[in-house]
Homo-oligomer: A and B are copies of this chain.
């Protein structure tokens, strides 16, 4: 996990997304306990309630279950559910906008593959479109 927060989204939602990423990446396997609320709060210097809120969202989504006195655990089947749900959400909601953006910015496949590498030279005086 990264130590930094984005100002573009509430912390609790970023937290939720990070746990999801950890499950998808296999960093957290089914049955594993999530890092404890208090630990996360301390490590990232965030309020315990904020962490709880992010975790609770995962409970509501049924990817995680909470056992009092024990911790919060990745539910069995979570990874596949997640793959399905997040795939659909990504393809339906995010990807179309990303595509539009790429086109808008006139980015070529090379630009995307080279990462933030070099800048390509425009063909002529006027920018395209």
Residues in B neighbouring A98, C-beta threshold 8 A? 94, 98
Contact of A96 among B79, B107, B115 (CB under 8 A): B115
CA of A129 to CA of B80 in the docked complex: distance in angstroms?
Answer: 12
Interface hit among A40-48, A51-59, A63-71, A85-93: A85-93
Q: Is the interface of A mostly helix, strand, loop or mixed?
A: helix
Contact mask for chain A residues 27-41; partner B; CB cutoff 8 A; 1 contact, 0 none: 000000000000000
Number of chain A residues close to chain B: CB under 8 A: 32
The answer to whether A86 and B112 have CB atoms under 8 Å apart is: no
Residues in B neighbouring A26, C-beta threshold 8 A? 129
The answer to whether B87 and A107 have CB atoms under 8 Å apart is: yes
* A60 sits at the interface (CB 8 A): no
CA of A107 to CA of B86 in the docked complex: distance in angstroms?
Answer: 11
Residues in B neighbouring A95, C-beta threshold 8 A? 112, 115
- A-B contact list, 16 entries, CB within 8 Å: A8-B9, A9-B9, A21-B100, A25-B104, A26-B129, A83-B105, A83-B106, A86-B105, A88-B116, A90-B102, A90-B105, A90-B107, A91-B115, A92-B116, A95-B112, A98-B98
